[in-house]
Structure 1
C-alpha cells in the first residue's frame, strides 16, 4: 500500500507524463507547425542556429531521462554525444553521406559506449554517480584529444553534406527539417518510454529504491537499461549536431558541453521532457548569440540565470506551468 502511494505521488508531481488533453494536443500541433514553418520565413543564419538548438536539445533530453526520470544527475552524456558525432563524421567521410545511416550509426555507437561504461556507474547513486559520469566524460574527451586516428585535438573536418535518397541536402532549411524530424521521433520515443510501466518503475526506484527492491524489482538493472537508452539518444543527438556542422572536435564532448546540458535540465525543469528542451534553446541562445553582444560574458549571464532559476523557479520553466494548471484546478 505504501508503494502505491509513492507511485501516485510521482504521477502527481509529473502530470505531463501521465495524461494528455485536447488542449495539450492542440498546443503541440501549433508548436510543431511553427517549427516546420521556420525555414520559410527566416534566413539561413537563424535556421542554422535553430538546427543546433534542436540537436543540443536531443542531448539535453538524454540528460533529463537520467536526471529527472531516473534520479541520476549526470555529467557524462557529452561523452556519448561525442561518440555519436565522431561516428557520424567517420561514416560520412569514408562510407556514405546518407543521413539515415549516420543517425542510426551514431545511435548505435552511443548505445554501445553507454553499455560498456554504464554497468560500473549505475551501481552508485547521488554525488558518487555524478563524479563517476564526470570521470567517464573526461576520459572519453582525453581519448578524442590524443587519438590521431580521429584527428586528435584538431578534430575531423571535410565531411560532405548529408543526403537523403541520394540527393544532398545543401540548403540549411532542408538540414533543419531533417534534424527536426529526427528530434521529434526521438522525443516521442522517450515520452513513450517514460509513460510505460518501465518508466513508472524508474520513478519508483528514484523515489524509494528499498521498497521497489522489496517488491522484487532489480533497481540496478532498471538503471542500467535507462543509462543505455540515454546513451543511445545522446549518440543520435551527436549525429544530428554534425549533420549541420559537418565538423567535430574534442570540444564537442568536453566538460563545458556536459555542464551546459545539465544546466539546461535545471533551467527547463527536471523530469518534464519538454522543459529541458526549452532550456537547451535558451542556453545556446545565451552562449552563442547574446554572448557576442555583451563582450563575451555569456558564461556570466548563464551563471546569473542559473542562480535566478534556483531561487525563483526551483522547478524550472516547466514548474511555472504546473503551478498555473494546479491553480486552475483548485479554482474550478
Structure 2
C-alpha cells in the first residue's frame, strides 16, 4: 500500500524522531508528554481496528488498569518508574487474555459491545475497591523515582519517559510490517479465506488483542506517572471513545495517522481549556464530523493519497519493451519505407 511504502522511508522516521525530541520545546512539556502517551494509546487501538478489523470500546480498561497498577507499584515499593510502568503493562496484558478469549469469536458491533461491557465491569471494580484504588479520589501523589534523579521538572521527565513511548511505537511498527501483521490484514479483509488457508483466525485475533491491550497499558502507565495520579476517568468508556476518535481523524490503518490525531486532539483540548472554554467536546466533536465527511481516509491517509497521486502524474511514461513493441517498430519502419518509395 502507498501509506506503508511512505512509512518505510527513513526520512519520515527521522522526522518523527526529531519531532518527538523537539516536542517539549514547541509546547508545554506536560502537554508534550500527554501527546506522546495518547499517540501510543491511539496507535495501539489502530493495531486492533485498522489491521485486525475489530473496533474496541473497552481499551480504557487496559489504559486505566495499567495506570492504577503503575501508580500502586510506584507508591508502595519505591521502584524506578520504568519498572512500575512495565508492571502496569504486564497487568494490562494479563487482563486482556480472559477478555479476549470471550470477545474475539465475535465481530462487528457485537465485539464492540462486549468489550464495552467488560470495560464497565472494570470501572465498577475500580470504583468499589477503595482500599487499593482510592475509589473516587483515585491514587494521588504517584512519585517519579529513577535512581535518585530529580524528575519533578516536567521538561526533564519528558526525556526520561519518551523512550518508553518510542519503544512502544517501534514495537507496533514492527508488528504491522511483519508476516504476522500481513496475516492480520488478510484476516481483516477476508476471515473466511484466511481460515480456509489454514490460519487459526481466533488465535491471531486474540494475540492481536493482547498486544494492543499491553501497549495501551504501556501508554496508560506513562500517563499515570506523568500526572502523578490515577483516576476513575482513566477506566471510563469515554477514554476509549477518545482514542478511537484520534484513530479515525488521523486515518485508520496508518499508525502515523494515530499519532497525528492524538497531537491534534490533545493540543486542541489544552488550548480550549487554557482559553477558559469548558465545553470542549462541542468543538472537538464538530471538527470530528467535518473531517469524517471531507476526509474519508483521515488526515494522514488523504494527504498520503494526494502525494502519491502527484508523484504518479510526474512520473514519465515509458514505452513498453518486448516482442510487441519490437513488432510495432518494424511495422512502422516498413510503412515509412513504402511511403518514401
TM-score with structure 1 setting the length: 0.90
Whichever of the two has the greater Rg, that structure is: 2
Q: 3-state SS of the aligned residue for 1:192?
A: helix
Structure 1 position 29 matched with structure 2 position 14:
yes
Structure 1 position 300 matched with structure 2 position 285:
no
Greater shift in the superposed pair: 277-286 or 236-245: 277-286
- Unaligned residue ranges in structure 1 (runs of 5+): 1-11
Q: 2:51 aligns with which of 48, 57, 69?
A: 69
Q: Is the 8 A contact 1:97 1:161 kept in 2?
A: no
* Aligned equivalents of 1:158, 1:105: Cα separation in 2: 18
Q: Is the 8 A contact 1:175 1:243 kept in 2?
A: no
* Aligned equivalents of 2:250, 2:23: Cα separation in 1: 22
Q: 3-state SS of the aligned residue for 1:167?
A: coil
Go from structure 1 to structure 2 and tell me whether the alpha carbon gap of 1:319 and 1:18 turns closer, same or farther (over 3 Å shift). closer
Go from structure 1 to structure 2 and tell me whether the alpha carbon gap of 1:204 and 1:77 turns closer, same or farther (over 3 Å shift). same
Q: What's 1:250 paired with?
A: 232
Q: 1:155 aligns with which of 138, 148, 157?
A: 138
Aligned pairs for 1:173-212 within 5 A: 173-212=155-194
Q: Is the 8 A contact 1:137 1:255 kept in 2?
A: yes
* Aligned equivalents of 2:23, 2:41: Cα separation in 1: 22
Structure 1 position 88 matched with structure 2 position 70:
yes
**Shift of the alpha carbon at 1:19?**
6.4
Structure 1 position 225 matched with structure 2 position 207:
yes
Greater shift in the superposed pair: 82-91 or 100-109: 100-109
Q: 3-state SS of the aligned residue for 1:31?
A: helix
Q: What's 2:221 paired with?
A: 239
**Shift of the alpha carbon at 1:294?**
6.3
Q: What CA RMSD, in Å, does the superposition of the two structures yield over aligned residues?
A: 1.7
Q: Is the 8 A contact 2:54 2:107 kept in 1?
A: yes
Q: Deviations over 1:206-249 (max 9, x none)?
A: 00011111111111110000000011101111110011101011
* Aligned equivalents of 2:79, 2:99: Cα separation in 1: 29
Q: 1:79 aligns with which of 55, 58, 61?
A: 61
* Aligned equivalents of 2:97, 2:130: Cα separation in 1: 25
Q: 3-state SS of the aligned residue for 1:69?
A: coil
Q: Is the 8 A contact 1:123 1:220 kept in 2?
A: yes
* Aligned equivalents of 1:324, 1:42: Cα separation in 2: 28
Q: 3-state SS of the aligned residue for 1:204?
A: helix
Q: Is the 8 A contact 2:71 2:224 kept in 1?
A: yes
* Aligned equivalents of 1:199, 1:47: Cα separation in 2: 34
* Aligned equivalents of 1:317, 1:55: Cα separation in 2: 20
Q: What's 1:135 paired with?
A: 117
Structure 1 position 330 matched with structure 2 position 312:
yes
Q: Is the 8 A contact 2:104 2:206 kept in 1?
A: yes
**Shift of the alpha carbon at 1:188?**
0.8
* Aligned equivalents of 2:262, 2:36: Cα separation in 1: 8
Q: 3-state SS of the aligned residue for 2:97?
A: helix
* Aligned equivalents of 1:231, 1:160: Cα separation in 2: 24
- Unaligned residue ranges in structure 2 (runs of 5+): 316-341
